[in-house]
C-alpha cells in the first residue's frame, strides 16, 4: 500500500508537471486542446464522412419555422406550435415549439454531423453552457428576408437574430475565451433558411408588397437582404455559410388550397417567384465566395429535391403529397392545428406534410439525407 504522504507528493508532482506542460503549449497544441474540449462536448456519432483533419464544432441556424426549435415560445406572437398535436413524435409526444410532428432540419443536420441529437432554441432559458458551445438556432417561425415579413406576424427578424448572435458570441467569449470562440466561429457551419414566408405570405397571400414591387423587384429585395445578412455573418467571424434556396412553396397544401384552383394543383406563380429568387441568391453567393477571403458560401438547393419528393412520393416511401396530416390537411397550421379541432392522420410517415405548410420528420430526414450527400464537402 502507498502511504498517504507519498500519494499527496505524487499528486503535487503531477499537477506541477501538467502546469509546466500547459505553460509551454504552442499555438498548434492550443488548437488540439480546443478540439479535445469540443470532442468532450460532442457525444453523437456522425453519419457523414468529413474530410481528413476537418472538424465542425458547432451548428448555428437562422431563418424561419423550418429551423425554429422553440424560439417563438418566448415571444408575443400567434405564430406558435407549443401545444398538441405538434411534437406528436418528439421524445414521448412533447410539443416543444417545433413546427412538425417530430424533429426539424436543425436537429437532423446536427445529429448527422455528429454534433448532438437536437439543436436547442437560443431563447430557451434551460439551455446549458455546453449547449451554446456546440450550437443553437436563432430562427423564428414566420420570419423572412423581407424586413416587413416578421413585422406582420410579430416574430424575430433576421436583424434581431443577428443581435442574438452577437450576444451569443459574448457569452462564448466569457465562458471559454476569445481564441476558442474564434476557433468555433471559423470552423462551425452556419445555415440560413428563409424566403418561403416572404413569397407565400407577405407577397402573395397578404399582398403587402404588391403595390410597391412586381415579382422581379420583390425577389431583388429578398436576394439583396439575404446577401447582406450572409455578409454580416462573415463579418462576425463565420466562414462556412450555407443559404437554402426557397422551396416550391406553391406546392405546399395551404397554397394548393388558396391558389391551386378546384383541383388544388401547385400554385405556379409562387413557384416561379421562388425560382427567380433562387437564381439571384445563387449568383450573389458566388460573388461573395470570390470576394471575401477564406469564406465558403454554399447555395443549398432545396427546391428541386422537395419538388421531386412531392411529384414522386412513392419513390421515397410516401403516399400523400398534397395534404397535411393535421385536420383536413388543406389549411390547418400553427394555432389552427390543435388538439381540440384537428384530428391527425393514422400514419404520419405516409405524409410528406405534417400540417398545411411544414413537412413531417420523415420527409425532413429524406431531404436532409439528399442535401448533406451533395453539399457537405462544399463547406471545406
The residues carrying an active-site annotation are 65, 355, 358
- Beta 189-193 vs 59-63: how paired, if at all? parallel
Angle of CA points 340, 123, 228, to nearest 5°? 110
User: In Å, how far are 144, 146, 196, 295, 343 from 274, measured between CA atoms?
Assistant: 13, 14, 8, 26, 32
Amino acid at each position: 500500500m502507498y502511504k498517504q504522504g507519498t500519494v499527496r507528493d505524487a499528486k503535487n508532482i503531477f499537477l506541477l508537471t501538467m502546469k509546466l506542460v500547459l505553460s509551454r503549449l504552442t499555438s498548434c497544441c492550443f488548437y488540439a486542446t480546443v478540439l479535445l474540449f469540443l470532442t468532450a462536448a460532442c457525444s453523437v456519432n456522425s453519419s457523414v464522412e468529413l474530410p481528413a483533419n476537418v472538424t465542425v464544432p458547432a451548428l448555428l441556424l437562422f431563418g424561419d419555422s423550418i429551423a425554429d426549435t422553440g424560439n417563438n415560445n418566448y415571444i408575443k406572437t400567434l405564430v406558435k406550435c407549443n401545444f398538441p398535436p405538434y411534437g406528436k413524435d418528439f421524445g414521448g409526444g412533447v410539443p416543444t415549439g417545433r413546427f412538425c410532428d417530430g424533429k426539424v432540419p436543425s436537429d437532423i443536420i446536427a445529429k448527422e454531423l455528429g454534433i448532438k441529437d437536437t439543436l436547442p432554441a437560443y431563447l430557451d432559458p434551460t439551455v446549458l453552457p455546453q449547449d451554446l458551445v456546440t450550437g443553437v438556432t436563432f430562427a423564428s417561425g414566420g420570419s423572412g428576408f423581407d424586413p416587413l415579413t416578421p413585422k406582420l406576424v410579430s416574430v424575430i427578424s433576421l436583424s434581431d437574430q443577428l443581435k442574438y448572435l452577437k450576444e451569443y458570441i459574448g457569452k462564448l467569449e466569457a465562458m471559454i475565451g476569445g481564441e476558442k470562440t474564434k476557433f468555433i466561429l471559423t470552423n462551425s457551419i452556419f445555415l440560413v433558411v428563409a424566403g418561403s414566408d416572404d413569397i407565400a405570405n407577405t407577397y402573395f397571400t397578404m399582398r403587402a408588397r404588391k403595390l410597391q414591387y412586381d415579382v422581379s423587384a420583390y425577389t431583388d429585395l429578398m436576394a439583396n437582404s439575404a446577401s447582406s445578412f450572409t455578409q454580416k455573418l462573415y463579418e462576425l467571424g463565420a466562414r462556412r455559410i450555407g443559404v437554402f434556396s426557397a422551396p416550391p412553396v406553391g406546392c405546399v397544401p395551404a397554397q394548393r388550397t388558396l391558389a391551386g384552383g378546384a383541383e388544388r394543383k401547385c400554385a405556379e406563380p409562387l413557384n416561379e417567384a421562388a425560382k427567380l429568387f433562387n437564381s439571384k441568391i445563387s449568383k450573389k453567393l458566388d460573388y461573395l465566395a470570390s470576394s471575401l477571403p477564406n469564406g465558403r458560401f454554399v447555395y443549398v438547393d432545396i427546391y428541386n429535391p422537395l419538388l421531386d419528393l412531392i411529384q414522386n412520393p412513392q419513390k421515397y416511401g410516401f403516399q400523400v403529397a398534397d395534404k397535411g396530416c393535421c385536420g383536413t390537411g388543406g389549411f390547418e397550421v400553427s394555432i389552427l392545428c390543435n388538439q381540440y379541432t384537428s384530428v391527425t392522420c393514422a400514419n404520419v410517415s405516409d405524409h410528406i406534410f405534417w400540417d398545411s405548410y411544414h413537412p413531417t420528420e420523415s420527409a425532413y430526414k429524406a431531404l436532409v439525407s439528399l442535401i448533406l450527400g451533395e453539399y457537405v464537402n462544399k463547406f471545406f
